[in-house]
Amino acid sequence: MEETSNRQRNACWERPDSTRRLMIQGAISAGLAAIGLPAVAGSSRAATAPDTGKWPKDAFAQKSEADAIKVLYGKQPQASDQVKLDAPEIAENGAVVPVAVSTSLPDVTSISIVVSQNPFPLAASYPIPAGTAAMVSNRLKMAKTSNVIALVESGGKLFSATKEVKVTVGGCGG
């Protein structure tokens, strides 16, 4: 257990905080400002719901990894070490697996994540507009131990990174 993260963790708690305002500023990871309740303006429901027309229905319906990639991108991915896939060795729980994808490849137009052993391998897909960073972090569900494949479309070509994530149930007998 490296010492630094403990220090960071403990520093957050030992901070002599006289008035513990509800909007606690002591965000756990240093980078974040408010952890408490969101400093959110009133929520207006006027904004129109997003258009589901663009939702890649067929790609999400595919039952194999290869088909999902073919339907979504129409081309084969090429493994690249410029695609960084951050996923755990052993998922603490298959229901909530933190997975992050980032890349240094130029003009990225889409990032997707496929879990090959899931009943429907395509898990999530993110079109990346200009001005948006080629980085996304999300939490996925995994049915069982499987390869997780990060796909990045850059300059019209498809690149990928793959990592196996082990998933088993936890806990005692029952």
Partner 1 sequence: MASTIRIRAVADGDTTVVQALVQHPMDSGFVKDAQGNFIPPHYIEVMEFAHAGKTVFTAFWGPAVAKDPYIKFSFKGAQKGEDLTVSWVDNKGAADSLVGKVQ
Partner 2 sequence: MIRAMSLAIALSYLWRAVAFAGEPVNPDADFKAFRDYFTKRFPKVSLNDFVNGPYSMDADLRKQWEEIDAFPPYQFAVDKGKEMFETPFRNGKTYGDCFPNRGIGIRQNYPYFDTKSGEVITLDVAINQCRAANGEQPFDYNKDDMAALTAYMAYTSRGKPFDIKIPDDPRALAAYQKGEQYFYTRRGQLNFSCASCHVQNPGRHIRTEVLAPALGIMAALPIYRSEWGGMGTTSRRLTSCNSQVRAVPLEPEDELYRDVEYYLSYMSNGLPVSGPGARP
d(CA 70, CA 61): 12
Closer CB to partner 2, 61 or 96, in the complex:
96
Structure tokens at 171: 């806990």
Cβ-based neighbours of 127, under 8 Å, separated by 6 or more: 54, 109, 110
Closer CB to partner 2, 27 or 66, in the complex:
27
d(CA 149, CA 160): 7
Closer CB to partner 1, 148 or 161, in the complex:
148
d(CA 146, CA 65): 11
* 12 sits near partner 2 (criterion: CB under 8 A): yes
Minimum separation from the CB atom of position 1 to partner 1 (A)? 25
d(CA 76, CA 45): 41
Q: Which stretch binds partner 2 (CB under 8 A): 54-62, 92-100, 115-123, 127-135?
A: 92-100
* 88 sits near partner 1 (criterion: CB under 8 A): no
* 103 sits near partner 1 (criterion: CB under 8 A): no
Contact with partner 1 (CB under 8 A) among 24, 60, 71, 109:
60
